[in-house]
Structure 1
Amino acid sequence: MAGVLDSVNQRTQLVGQNRLELLLFRLKGKQMYGINVFKVKEVLQCPPLYEIPNRNPVVRGVAHIRGGTISIMDMNLSIGRSPLENIENCFVIITEYNRSTQGFLVGAVEKIVNMNWESIHPPPKGAGRENYLTAVTEIENQLVEIIDVEKILAEVSPLSDEISQGVIEDGIGERVVQKHVLIVDDSAIARKQIQRVVEQMGIKTTLKKDGREALEYLESMVAEGQIAADELILVISDIEMPEMDGYTFTAEVRANPALKDLHVVLHTSLSGVFNEAMVTKVGADDFLAKFNPDDLARVLNERVKCMTGESLLDEEE
């Protein structure tokens, strides 16, 4: 395992090509799971774990790693199964999500594979709403399940989706009552978090689960004679998504003359190894690291003010 992630920070050349690299791992048994390498900081043999009082049952303990203390969650417990055994023989995947670092205990780490997002598909419809999958794929004739880590984190350590007092501009929703915000994210938890923030501001939302579905929706608006930039305040899009990632989605929007004027904000938990140069390259208007309700609200405030001409009036005054 030594050196398997040595070049994680150099893998950003994949970004914008609708490609990703998956770190494959196992929990119990033969089932293979995957996690995007962009979210992985390190993989190591499970270090000594120390119990903490009143911890969530999913947290097996904390570990002292690189001068810091990190909570270590049992990935098998996190998805509603039995705890991993003989943890001294297990591995810990250190990840960065939503501006925080955490570790996931797994049974074994296999290898890294280079994939195209088009080969990554949403979970089967029969999987049910309570499943912990964000996507599935097939590698060497074996099903690989990609776990919705944001769902796990929301259950272990819920993030507030309440906007702080005084952040919402007075009457902001009333100024764009006929318009809405398009939210694009493969995680059902993330979609709901963003939706709650936007709707607190009195603004309507439309939800799509990946870039391809969102692009088809926008193209259908055009086919019906609608001007998307007039109907939508902005598009808030995740980057990591099956079928079509957020970079490719944004590039496709900019390449379409009927859609090129849409305001696109990329919203992602890829904060640690995120290549911000790609935002400019694909033509996104803004980037936000997940998940801060106040930051989202401020972006919406400014966008609505810009659409209604208030920013210009404020500057003149």
Structure 2
Amino acid sequence: MDEGRATVPLGTLLLSIALLLAPQAVAAREGAYFGYCGDAIRTGWNFYCDPTAPEEEPEEAAAPDALPEALPSAASASPPKTYAEQIETFRKQMDELKYRAVLEPTPEHVQDYMEAQQRMSRMAAAFTDQWQRVLFRTPSLDINTRFPMSQMGGAVYQDQIRTARETSLREAAANLGFMVVVEDPARCGLCTPQLEIVARMRESFGIEVIVVSADGSFHPLFPEAAVDTGQLRAFGLADSPRPTIALVEPRTGVVEPIGSGLLTEDVILERVHVVTKVPAGERY
């Protein structure tokens, strides 16, 4: 070997060759190392390209002003369920648990329904407790201020109501005609019992009763009963059932029916009080 020529070790030479050929191996494997696979030509320098590999389409450049996809607006978001919808959903869930427990009464299904019922009972108890507490501090909502709920308060209230109704009856009888329309007891089975009730009220309250016999029949309790000669039609009572009780204003002829059929003393007292003392809409 010449002394002026550098001697390259064999290992170093092989490594250099390997490094030189490595890009070509990559090109043979990927087919585009030198950039010769950008067209449809498969000859010449392009023999490195893989003829079976599909051509890659260039990616479209994103628009410079492209923004990320907008989030759903508040208007498009589903609104929260109303309380009515929540209760309806809860009821359906309860029904589903109940029906499942009935049709498939396994211990687990029955227990699920019992636990759901217990939750519902706790909710009802909490509502009831809060209801009562609101009544305690809000007298305008408490019916007990107008209609006592206790036994003692109820007795006092009933006595007061009875007194007010009797007073209303006496005032009505003094200013209005207390008319009872009857007919032959053979056709009106309730007429005689009604006259008996009215006769007792006449004795108790001193009211004057006008009995009108629609068919001219005689009634021993009220032998002075008037016979209808057209006045019932004038009062609008010609076609009313028998017996019928009405208040009549003598001067104007205005008639206020109290009711038809058998009316007890308490019912008569109540109805006279209502029509003469209580304005419409203020009874309850």
Report the TM range for the smaller structure's normalisation.
Answer: under 0.3
Structure with higher strand content: 1
Question: Structure 2-normalised TM-score?
Answer: 0.26
Report 1 or 2 for greater relative contact order, CA contacts < 8 Å, sequence distance ≥ 6. 1
| TM-score, structure 1 normalization | 0.24
Pick the structure with greater CA Rg: 2
